[in-house]
Amino acid sequence: NAERFYYSAQRTGMEPVPIELFLEAIKALVAVDEDFALPQPGSMYIRPCLIPLDRGVSYRASLDYRFFVILCAVK
């Protein structure tokens, strides 16, 4: 998934998140929220996101991006 996220960002003209950073972010978030994990057959929904931060619409790619990860316990 880290590689797919990296190459998807490249294909869409966004600055890709380094694979090592992606993996460390996921590991850190899961470690922080592991107490919220539901018992089997529950799971954790993990959604990495990369969004542009420029205001308005432009002919060029954004200059700044925000990478974040959403994690949610799922039953």
How far apart (Å, rounded) are the C-alpha atoms in residues 50 and 67?
5
pLDDT for 4:
96
pLDDT for 57:
78
- The more confidently predicted of residues 24 and 75 is 24
Residue 65 forms beta bridges with which residues? 52
Half-sphere exposure of 60 (CA within 13 A, CB side): 5
Q: What is the pLDDT of residues 31-68, one digit of tens each?
A: 998 888 778 888 889 999 999 998 877 777 888 999 99
Between strands 43-52 and 65-74, the pairing is antiparallel
How far apart (Å, rounded) are the C-alpha atoms in residues 47 and 75?
16
